[in-house]
Structure 1
């Protein structure tokens, strides 16, 4: 269960209402969802999954209920990899007081071809092409364009890493501002270089004869990945002379 701050300026909450800024919401959510971004929150809002209040000057203000709803949406994406349409229907049913079980991962429907990932990797770490198309709300031609620029790459025929859902959502949102997939090739190249650097650091741990040391490699990879993401964001903000809320 997410723990939302009770108020106070230190949490970015409005003193009289207890509402939180999007930056404060991000801080709360990252305790459970380290990879969530402000762009992801805005994307979920644009898809109608949350409706934060707006100040007269246009700033978003989130209630504790909004934060709980966001956590529920992110949990359904992370643990079940459901398309946004299914999540929206599930939330609507909950609001009507209906007890609706979550669909099982990998169930045919919503654009999924019903094929199970052809590997021994747990299904929670993979998503089929049809389900990715449904979650991103795009057609085959658009997905093929993204693939042509290397922005999305299947790990095997018709199967993608689950993080592809987040990548697709961010590409879509950037597209609304006129940033086309071809413009994002430099970002992909930079991400590949950063990933290579992290992999170079943890490679000795992965090759170690001690099983516990090899197991530590995954935790170390996540730690370094989080640091590189934060550094990348800080460098972009510094270059633009802005500070994200």
Structure 2
């Protein structure tokens, strides 16, 4: 006997506490991308089964906790459809936990390359077009050099910007962070340059130094907040 089904409004009410940014338009977008396929009543209304709701919850968790692009999520869903076990979705690490918040946001833990067009970045990060324009106007977010797509750094800044707004931190605060980042980047460049004999060494050494600087920066911030 088939289990109960829900309308799209009921699904929203069920998942909204865990995913506050969820909207009907976002659910429909995921459907248009072929990630969800709920049944339709003769009247045309969507009918979400328990399996459909679980599938949607998995998609939203992948986006929220791992910032995974739709291409990767689709691959995971195909594994599920074949009866295989997809990679585990790790919950966000609390500040001060092993690895720290910087690991959860992807710093020092490279993932597969992210290439997002403008609309994809907006959908994945949960910000509005106006908010992205504002971030770009202050050069807080930009496309990769010489490209028309955004990388993982842009996604991370957009997500952080959206979440920080809930605590009263806006673009003005992010500009201060950008200025600090520019100073740290300059310091890293000056530090790395004398140690690079071959061009291919530059990326590896810069990555190592950057990770150490970021870990030290995070530790100092936590230390200042505790005193």
TM-score when normalising by structure 2 = 0.52
Matched residue, 2:206? 221
Asked if the contact 1:198/1:221 (under 8 Å) is kept, the reply is yes
Map Cα deviations across residues 41-83 of structure 1 (whole Å, 9 max, x no partner).
xxx97779xxxxxxxxxxxxxxxxx9xx87xx63x72xxx338
Matched residue, 2:141? 152
CA pair 172-162 structure 1, distance change in 2 beyond 3 A = same
Asked if the contact 1:125/1:161 (under 8 Å) is kept, the reply is yes
Matched residue, 1:166? 156
Asked if the contact 2:122/2:129 (under 8 Å) is kept, the reply is yes
**Structure 1: how far apart are the matches of 2:200 and 2:217?**
27
Output aligned runs, 1:24-103, within 5 Å: 74=66, 77=68, 81-82=69-70, 87=73, 93=77, 97-99=80-82
Asked if the contact 2:127/2:159 (under 8 Å) is kept, the reply is no
- Secondary structure of residue in 2 paired with 1:127: coil
- CA drift of 1:164 comes to 1.1
- CA drift of 1:181 comes to 1.6
Asked if the contact 2:126/2:162 (under 8 Å) is kept, the reply is no
**Structure 1: how far apart are the matches of 2:75 and 2:83?**
7
CA pair 195-144 structure 1, distance change in 2 beyond 3 A = same
**Structure 2: how far apart are the matches of 1:193 and 1:214?**
23
> Are 1:188 and 2:187 matched, yes or no?
no
TM-score when normalising by structure 1 = 0.48
Q: Figure out how many residues of one structure are paired with residues of the other and give that number.
A: 146
- CA drift of 1:175 comes to 0.9
- CA drift of 1:232 comes to 1.1
Matched residue, 2:191? 201
- CA drift of 1:195 comes to 1.0
Query: Structure 1, unaligned stretches of length 5 or more?
Result: 1-43, 49-65, 103-122
Query: Structure 2, unaligned stretches of length 5 or more?
Result: 1-17, 23-57, 87-111
**Larger radius of gyration, structure 1 or 2?**
2
**Structure 2: how far apart are the matches of 1:45 and 1:124?**
25
Asked if the contact 1:205/1:214 (under 8 Å) is kept, the reply is no
Map Cα deviations across residues 2-34 of structure 1 (whole Å, 9 max, x no partner).
xxxxxxxxxxxxxxxxxxxxxxxxxxxxxxxxx
- CA drift of 1:126 comes to 3.8
> Are 1:133 and 2:122 matched, yes or no?
yes
1:231 corresponds, among 210, 216, 220, to 216
Map Cα deviations across residues 199-227 of structure 1 (whole Å, 9 max, x no partner).
12222455x3xxxx322221111111111
Asked if the contact 1:149/1:182 (under 8 Å) is kept, the reply is no
